[in-house]
Structures are given as structure tokens and as C-alpha cells.
Homo-oligomer: A and B are copies of this chain.
Amino acid sequence: MARVSSAQRRVELVQAALRVIDRDGVHGATTRAIVAEAHVPLATFHYVFRSRDELIRELIAYVVEQEGRAAEGTLQSATDIRSLLRTGLQAYFDLVVSEPNREQAMFELFHYALRTDELDDLPRLQYERYHRTAADLLAAAARQLEITWSVPLDELARLLVTFTDGLTLAWLADRHDAAAARTMDHAADFIARFANPPTEQINQGAHS
């Protein structure tokens, strides 16, 4: 086997573990399944990781960060905030539909971390990141369409994440595409209502 730095091996194992979890769930991600997926001997695992949970911790950080980054470039252009939101939700939903196991894995990792003493600080960080990402997107949307939000950004971001979580769970359960579309319609309507259109008076007042 090629000689590789242990930092590099860690990355390889994390990515292999992610593929295993996609396929077989967190439960199926045993040390042996992971090293088989990565094509390395079993003993390599505990050379680079102290324990299985140490890998899971690194994996969650990796995948949450990756999901946050993926959301950044998502924002498209639109003439009104409602359709901008609706399109964004659709883009997220299309991702879920195309890779259902990925989002399922995120939930499983979340619940696994909640139950594991050494990892129970991660769920908070995971949702902090989700909320921050949502807030960034909503702020960028406001900037693009020159509107302002009538409620605090944090509050709106949390609502958006509430919608995506609930939407995803129900769809994973019944795969009801049409119902999911209706939910997204309502979610877009709902959040769009918090947009204050740019009034000339306010702008004039600011400039004069």
C-alpha cells in the first residue's frame, strides 16, 4: 500500500465512511465496512483515528461544512422575492430527490450525535451552521431584490430551516412529490410576506 500521510488517510476514510453511510446508514458504518470501502487494512483505521466516534465527529464537521458551501452558490435571479424563494426551495428539494440517502444520512448522523456523549455538542453546531447558511441566503436575496425583511433575519432563517426539515422528513416518508410542491408553494408565500418592498420615500429620506 502506498505510503500516505495520516492526515490524508483521515480524509480518505471520512469520505469512504460517507459513502458507506449513504448506502447502509450510520448503523452499517462499522470500522470494517469503512476500511473495505477505502481499500485499506483494518489496522489502518486505529492508526489514524483514536476511535470510531472520532471519525464520526470529523465526518459530521466535514459534511455539514460541505452542505453549507453547496448552498452558497444556489441563489438564482428573479424579479420578485416570492419566486426567488420558491426556486431556491425547489433547488434544495431536487437535490433531496436526486440523492435521498444523503439527506437521510444527515438526519441519522444528527440523532446519532444526540445519543452519543462524546458527540453531543455537534447537533447544536450543526443547526447553528444551517441557520447561518439560511440567514446568508435570505440576506443575499434581500440585497439582490433591494428589499428589507420586516422581522429579524435570525427568526426568518430559523423558519426557513423549519420548513426544509419538515418538508424533507414528510417526503422521505411518503415520497409524495405533489404534496411537497404544495408545501413549498406555501413556504415561499409565507416568507415572501415578510419582505418590505423598497419605497422611494425611504431612499429619498436617507439621501437628503
Task: Give the B-binding residues of A (Cβ under 8 A).
Answer: 24-25, 27-28, 104, 107-108, 110-112, 114-115, 123-124, 126-128, 154-155, 158-159, 161-167, 169-170, 172-174, 179, 182-183, 186, 190
Contacts and interface: CB of A to CB of B under 8 A. Distances in A.
Contacts of A27: 27, 112, 115
Contact of A166 (B28, B114, B161, B172): B161
Contacts of A179: 154-155, 158
A169 B186 CA distance: 20
Copies per complex of this chain: 2
Majority-rule SS of A interface residues = helix
A101 to B, nearest CB: 9
12 contacts: A27-B112, A110-B169, A110-B173, A111-B111, A123-B173, A127-B169, A128-B174, A155-B179, A158-B179, A161-B170, A165-B166, A165-B170
**What 7 A-B pairs are tightest by C-beta distance, nearest first?**
A162-B166, A127-B173, A166-B166, A165-B166, A123-B173, A25-B115, A124-B174
A108 to B, nearest CB: 5
Nearest to A107: B111
Nearest to A104: B114
B158 A162 contact: no
A170 B130 CA distance: 10
Contacts of A25: 111, 115
A34 to B, nearest CB: 17
A85 to B, nearest CB: 14
A172 B55 CA distance: 23
Given A115-B25, A179-B155, A182-B155, A167 B162 contact: yes
Contacts of A127: 169-170, 173-174
A170 B162 contact: yes
Given A155-B179, A155-B182, A165-B169, 5 more contacts: A107-B111, A108-B115, A111-B111, A123-B173, A159-B186
B115 A111 contact: no
